[in-house]
Amino acid sequence: MINQLNQQLERVDDLKSGDICTEFIFEQKAILGSGTYGKVYKMKSKFDNQYYAVKCIKKQNEKEGFPITSLREIKFLTTLDQENVIKIKQIYTRVKKNKNKIKTIKTYCAMDLMANDFWKLLAKNEEQKFYFTTNQIRSILYQCFKGLQYIHSQNIIHRDIKSANILVNEIGVVKIADFGLAKFCPKKEGVKKTPTVVTLGYRAPEVLLTRGQYNFQIDVWSMGCFAVELNFNRPLFKAKDEAQQIQQIFEKCGTPTAETWPEIMKSDYFIKLNPQRYDRKFISSIRNMKKDFDDELLDLLDKIFVLNPNVRLTVEQVLQHPFFKNHNLNLCFEQFQEYLIKRNVNLEKVITLIQKPVQKDIDFII
């Protein structure tokens, strides 16, 4: 079905599904944020009296065109349906003309209203010197990987997994959001894609070194970066540019060799880079940051932070790891809920003016 949408949905006007409502049934309550293409509102539905996050995408005229990132998000989120993936509940388009007959088209997308994103939560944790427990992290990551498993099962690569795009509601349900960079991709090797995707600190080595030769494994790497961030309230990699990002990855994960990653030896970019030789010391580098780091989680991350994507764990393998399989996940979820209650995490109190990390260097996404 996603493939059919990908082929047929060239303009937002082509949407003909039952998700489009003929009447605008929402009442504005507050502005939650704004971006390049519009604003996000907290609105109350007149139909079910529930609150939703409603994204308003605005364009002034037909020539302006519909933002490609917004179009992608609409295409995917009207179709995807899993509890750990954000979903567009309803779409409404409103057209108005001013005195000069200039047409303004506003497209409203109603989605689940979430309490917060983890980028803000972790910033608040760091400010107050609070850290998630291992069980709380286990619950968060299990939900994330379940959502990612579903996304990949639909032949979609998210391409921008990061803490700012992982949301949580007031009862502890975690959802993956922001599909503006996502791509439908049949599981074929050797398909060249946009080389510069994923926010820099979460960017997998194959994105940095192959210039477009990557697959679903880039999302697993990015989720691993998020897992480390949950432990330390800060990113594992914090580079200023791609060269520094590659350097930081090699320092922790070792420099690839013909034995560990034979395919990369053929990369023109890697050959020109001629990187300094580093031995792998991922486990010791994490232990140096936190001596009592959970053993099972460290083993899982050691298998995720593998340079060669063909050897790196898949999302299915991650979910079978002892870090999840050997524990009571319902108990972990309850402990995460306790955190949300104790910390009084809710939408109105945590929204701040802190600037989120953004992806700036993408000219055109394919």
List, run by run, the mean pLDDT of 10-residue segments along the chain (366 residues).
38 43 70 74 86 81 63 84 92 79 81 91 93 97 98 94 94 93 74 71 93 90 98 94 94 95 90 91 96 96 97 98 98 96 61 39 34
CA-CA distance, 341 to 326, in Å (whole number)?
A: 26
CATH superfamily membership of 2-112 = Phosphorylase Kinase; domain 1 (3.30.200.20)
Give pTM, 2 decimals: 0.84
Beta strand 103-112 pairing with 116-117: unpaired
Residues with a known catalytic role: 160
pLDDT for 198: 83
CATH superfamily membership of 116-350 = Transferase(Phosphotransferase) domain 1 (1.10.510.10)
What tokens were used for 45?
Answer: 């539905």
CA-CA distance, 88 to 86, in Å (whole number)?
A: 7
- Asked whether 269 and 209 are in contact (CB, 8 A), the reply is yes
Q: Return the ∠ at Cα 236 (arms to 234 and 239), rounded to 5°.
A: 100
> Got the DSSP string for 23-42?
S--EEEEEEEEE-SSEEEEE
Q: Residues forming the annotated binding site for ATP?
A: 59
pLDDT for 37: 62
CA-CA distance, 13 to 11, in Å (whole number)?
A: 5
List the domain boundaries for the chain.
2-112, 116-350
